[in-house]
Structure 1
Amino acid sequence: MALLSPPAAQDTRGVPAPETDHERWLTSVGLWLWPSVVTLVVATYRIGEPLLGRDELTSWDMSGRSIGQVLATVQHVDGVLSTYYLILHGWRVLFGDSAASLRMPSALAMAGAAACVALIGHRLFSRRAGVAGGLLFALVPAVSRFAHEARPYGLVMLAVALTALLLLRALDRPGSSWRWAGYALGLVTVGLFHLLALTCLTGHLVLMALRGRRERRAWRSFWLAVLAALVALSPVVVLGRAQTVRQIWWIAKPTAWSLVDIWPQLFYTGPCAGTMILLAMVACRERRDAVLFCAVSAVAPVLLIWARSHGEISFFYFRYMLFTLPAFAVLAGAGLAAAARSRLMLTAAFAAFALLTASEQESMREQLGHYWSGGPDFAAAAQTIQKYYAPGDAVAYPRREEEAISLGVRYYLPRDLELRDVFLAESPTRRNDLAATECPQPARCLRGEKRIWLVVRGNETDPLNALTPYQSAALRAHYTVSGVERPSGLAVALLVRTS
């Protein structure tokens, strides 16, 4: 069936000389290489400039633990992210823990996803559609934003796009056990990076219904691959179910309006979302079977997750559905290729799309670009402490902030500048967890330090008010606030001992 292979070549009679094998190879490579390169260039532009966000700091913390400690921690929390943490641990050993280094796996994954978008678009529609889809994918603000995120979203998008491509290849040769094994491995990879992304199977079922409805061998191989993947993923599923309440309790149950509001969030800007959806609708005039496969792959997972989120726990958060963007890009590429009949029109369309998304592309690369409305400037807080540091200084944090402030300040302080955390009883690493244990009797945890730095969130007039009553009382009994600096979102106070 034509759905599974590139459209037939046009009549070349009258062409003086056919392409050589070398020219055909260059054409084939260019199909995926240009979208991949453009995505990588856009994704790595100023990749290290935004401060690490809260979740990224968790990735930094986890990747710095030993393999044994990572495996012990994921038994209690973040079990669904264990594969990502182990990969980042190995990456960090080789390339260090700078912001650019921690984010580079995501950028590389986005480049790989763009290549898959181009290849899928070529198979389902045309070469022009494939290249257009890959380049549109490169310019979507959400792609750049999460290429700059030390979290697994980019790897999920690559895994989902690659698995769709592997299914198309398996259906080219339904009798090839190796190709079905590759597809099964792709599904396992999807689940290891994000279990919710397995809702991509809705699109795969549609593809099977279109292609394999009369081929029992293909259906049998498909279900065996799916079953094998689910069995392999069962330990992660068990861990995820046990840890769900702790990890995503904060996600609100979606309303009917959420199904409208989700699209600007997915693309990271309303105009981009509107443009991509409009181009996808233009593609509906193209090959109906291919359009149906891509449309279901793009929309059905969102609907399923929305429906599932009306139970005890909600999963409806835009980051968890970013894996649908490659399918949207394939459709939008087909629509653009159909609407723009010349290279000049295509070039103008890409320029207009880049201009449309330029402001978002710029804002997400600012220092606090990883926060929705300002954010804690951990780098400035660390610079304040480093500037006025004296040997023997200690530090105190409001532990109810779930380690975010502690991790942020520690990351941006020089590695050889160590401050004893006065109210820390047991660190998250020692507990094999993400949260620390606080000293139960704060007054007894003080060791007569001459100076203690206090870092709290917000703009409290008196930073000591951000602590628990017992912690605040213990410090007030022996210390006075010598000075306060207020970087964005934080207050950094120096407490000096008086008695």
Structure 2
Amino acid sequence: MALTIALGLWGIRRQNTMWGDESVTYQLAHRDLSQIWHTAQHIDLVHALYYAVMHEIFGLFGGGLLTLRLPSVLAMSVAASGVGLLALRLAGPRAGLLAGLVFPLLPQVQKYAQEGRSYAMVCALVTWATYALVVSIPRRARWRWAVYGSTMLLACLLHEFAVLALVAHGVTLVVSRVPRPVMRAWSVAAAGVVAGLLPLAIYSAGQSEQVSWIGGPVRLRYFLVVAVIGVACARAPLGVRGPVRLSALAVPILVLPGLLLLIASLVKPLFVDRYVVYGNIGIAVLLGAWMDYFHRLRRSSRHAWIAVVAVLAALVQPSLSLRTPQSRSDDATAIGATVRKEGRPGDGLLYLAGRHRILTAANPEDTRFLTDLALAQDPVSSNTLAGVELPAQEIAARMLEFDRIVAVRAAGAHSLGDPREEAKASTLRRHFRAYGTTHVNGARVTVYARDHGPSPKAGTDQPYRHHRPRVPF
């Protein structure tokens, strides 16, 4: 726990930057609970419980950047303690200590321990549900199974894909050939989890466009690498102390959730590494038990120390890079700051596409003196993430009232078939000229000037002198 907290606090601010998904958490957690609920009817229902939890935390400790990320740091530290206890239960004290120390060193764990999203909390709950499963097998006490079921249900309500851990637990019990009463008790608990999750799953299915951005497996390499390493470690005789074999528990939780998402991706792309971050439980337990097994074989301690130093050295560069703004897919803070720098009071502001308005919404000062040309109703009053936009014709008409427009286009943005986005692009192309573009992490910010006449002749020293836009100050 101490190591996880120390690594979590190291560089937690990431130079005071915030990426897009964290920006959504930040904005929604500052809304009232009723507003969060109404917003969830339109979008992000799967994260509604997490936003409500963060709303209460913000109310108690203030809504700053540290408050946004500290719950994830603490959640990962709780997960680390659970990982240590799991390995202790199944392979002994030394394996438990080593597994608990390996867990916070894993790059994926370091990454999501410092993000204001639900994944660290889900990881902690799945870890302790797994521990509750292990301690429930030999004793068969009903209250232990109730603890297991309620912990798993809470994890699933925070993020639906935690239910894949339930599948992994079932495989563990089948492979371990536990007695029928144990299997029956788990089945009842699992049925309760599925029944509790079902309403959320049914209603959130109507918001499936939220994952339309996934064009293929996202950061698949990490999953494949740790899966191969974990399976290789499982070939050793690890963990014979507990009610189930360590490998029978760790390999399914490591491999199955990601594998099931990959199989589902054959129909609809769904694999994103953070959705199954709790799979790191499996690799940490396996590595801890394998190192304990290696020590018990009395192999050369010098070679062991060389291997440890080599692994730690290899982790330095990823650990440093994870604490930079560039380690995330976008930088909402930098995007907002660029809009503020490039814009002048009275300029128009345009988002291509409109849903990316959330990238500059965390700090209203960034867009305070600009006019959002497409916005009909702001996000808060409309109970949405990005607000409600005007019809296409009105957007085009408003654009023509301005001599300068600051346009924000997020990386990978596409809006085929949306008349509003087509109107924005067409009006810019026909009546404006790109005056300069600034590239930032995750987006580009372009200043467009109204084209009031034909382009100057080639060879003119100052091509914009006679055609500079009229700028209101």
CA contact (8 A) 1:483 1:493 kept: yes
Residue in structure 2 matched with residue 170 of structure 1 by the alignment: 136
Which shifted more, 138-147 or 67-76?
A: 67-76
Q: Say which SS state the counterpart of residue 385 (structure 2) adopts.
A: coil
Residue in structure 1 matched with residue 289 of structure 2 by the alignment: 334
Residue in structure 1 matched with residue 212 of structure 2 by the alignment: 249
Structure 1 vs Structure 2: percent identity of aligned residues?
25
Q: Say which SS state the counterpart of residue 447 (structure 2) adopts.
A: strand
Displacement after TM superposition at 1:483 (Å): 6.7
Instruction: Give distance in 2, aligned partners of 1:413 and 1:101.
Output: 19
Q: Say whether 1:237 aligns with 2:201.
A: yes
Instruction: Give distance in 2, aligned partners of 1:446 and 1:305.
Output: 43
Q: Which amino acid aligns with 1:430?
A: S
The alpha-carbon distance between structure 1 residues 361 and 71, as it changes in their structure 2 partners (threshold 3 A), is: same
Instruction: Give distance in 1, aligned partners of 2:431 and 2:471.
Output: 6
Instruction: Give distance in 2, aligned partners of 1:384 and 1:247.
Output: 27
Which aligned pairs between 1:80-91 and structure 2 lie closer than 5 A? 80-91=46-57
- What whole-Å deviation, never above 9, does each CA across 1:79-130 have from its counterpart, x for those lacking one? 2211111112222223334333212222211111111100000001111111
How many residues are treated as equivalent by the alignment?
A: 436
Instruction: Give distance in 2, aligned partners of 1:208 and 1:93.
Output: 42
The alpha-carbon distance between structure 1 residues 339 and 409, as it changes in their structure 2 partners (threshold 3 A), is: same
CA contact (8 A) 2:91 2:238 kept: no
The alpha-carbon distance between structure 1 residues 398 and 346, as it changes in their structure 2 partners (threshold 3 A), is: same
- What whole-Å deviation, never above 9, does each CA across 1:42-62 have from its counterpart, x for those lacking one? 122111116322222222222
Q: Say which SS state the counterpart of residue 46 (structure 1) adopts.
A: coil
Q: Which amino acid aligns with 1:360?
A: P
The alpha-carbon distance between structure 1 residues 113 and 387, as it changes in their structure 2 partners (threshold 3 A), is: same
The alpha-carbon distance between structure 1 residues 119 and 498, as it changes in their structure 2 partners (threshold 3 A), is: closer
- What whole-Å deviation, never above 9, does each CA across 1:367-406 have from its counterpart, x for those lacking one? 22112xxx5x54445445556876x535412241522xx3
Q: Say whether 1:298 aligns with 2:254.
A: yes
Residue in structure 1 matched with residue 70 of structure 2 by the alignment: 104
**Which residue among 423, 435, 442 is the counterpart of 2:395?**
442
Q: Which amino acid aligns with 1:219?
A: M
The alpha-carbon distance between structure 1 residues 95 and 349, as it changes in their structure 2 partners (threshold 3 A), is: farther
Q: Say whether 1:354 aligns with 2:308.
A: no
- Superposition TM-score, scaled by structure 1 size: 0.76
Q: Which amino acid aligns with 2:6?
A: V
Instruction: Give distance in 1, aligned partners of 2:180 and 2:59.
Output: 48
Q: Say which SS state the counterpart of residue 319 (structure 1) adopts.
A: helix
Instruction: Give distance in 1, aligned partners of 2:280 and 2:112.
Output: 12
Residue in structure 1 matched with residue 87 of structure 2 by the alignment: 121
Residue in structure 2 matched with residue 266 of structure 1 by the alignment: 223
The alpha-carbon distance between structure 1 residues 285 and 475, as it changes in their structure 2 partners (threshold 3 A), is: closer
CA contact (8 A) 2:19 2:332 kept: no
The alpha-carbon distance between structure 1 residues 221 and 72, as it changes in their structure 2 partners (threshold 3 A), is: same
Q: Say which SS state the counterpart of residue 13 (structure 2) adopts.
A: coil
Q: Say which SS state the counterpart of residue 155 (structure 1) adopts.
A: helix
CA contact (8 A) 1:120 1:330 kept: yes
Instruction: Give distance in 2, aligned partners of 1:471 and 1:315.
Output: 30
Q: Which amino acid aligns with 1:367?
A: P
Q: Say which SS state the counterpart of residue 493 (structure 1) adopts.
A: strand
- Superposition TM-score, scaled by structure 2 size: 0.80
Residue in structure 2 matched with residue 491 of structure 1 by the alignment: 445
Which shifted more, 359-368 or 96-105?
A: 96-105
Instruction: Give distance in 1, aligned partners of 2:62 and 2:365.
Output: 14
Displacement after TM superposition at 1:360 (Å): 1.0
Instruction: Give distance in 2, aligned partners of 1:285 and 1:336.
Output: 10
Residue in structure 2 matched with residue 200 of structure 1 by the alignment: 165
Displacement after TM superposition at 1:177 (Å): 2.5
Displacement after TM superposition at 1:468 (Å): 4.9
**Which residue among 150, 159, 167 is the counterpart of 2:116?**
150
Residue in structure 1 matched with residue 359 of structure 2 by the alignment: 408
Displacement after TM superposition at 1:160 (Å): 1.0
Instruction: Give distance in 2, aligned partners of 1:98 and 1:283.
Output: 47
Which aligned pairs between 1:460-471 and structure 2 lie closer than 5 A? 468=421, 470-471=423-424
Which shifted more, 158-167 or 472-481?
A: 472-481
**Which residue among 310, 315, 319 is the counterpart of 2:270?**
315
Displacement after TM superposition at 1:324 (Å): 1.1
Q: Say whether 1:54 aligns with 2:20.
A: yes
Q: Which amino acid aligns with 1:42?
A: L
Q: Which amino acid aligns with 2:86?
A: I
**Which residue among 360, 366, 380 is the counterpart of 1:429?**
380
The alpha-carbon distance between structure 1 residues 483 and 345, as it changes in their structure 2 partners (threshold 3 A), is: closer
Instruction: Give distance in 1, aligned partners of 2:309 and 2:222.
Output: 23
Displacement after TM superposition at 1:474 (Å): 6.6
Displacement after TM superposition at 1:141 (Å): 0.5
Q: Say whether 1:131 aligns with 2:97.
A: yes
Q: Which amino acid aligns with 1:319?
A: R
Q: Say which SS state the counterpart of residue 357 (structure 1) adopts.
A: helix
CA contact (8 A) 1:80 1:239 kept: no
The alpha-carbon distance between structure 1 residues 382 and 435, as it changes in their structure 2 partners (threshold 3 A), is: closer
Residue in structure 2 matched with residue 368 of structure 1 by the alignment: 326
Pairwise CA RMSD of aligned residues? Answer: 3.5
Instruction: Give distance in 2, aligned partners of 1:310 and 1:110.
Output: 31
CA contact (8 A) 2:339 2:366 kept: no
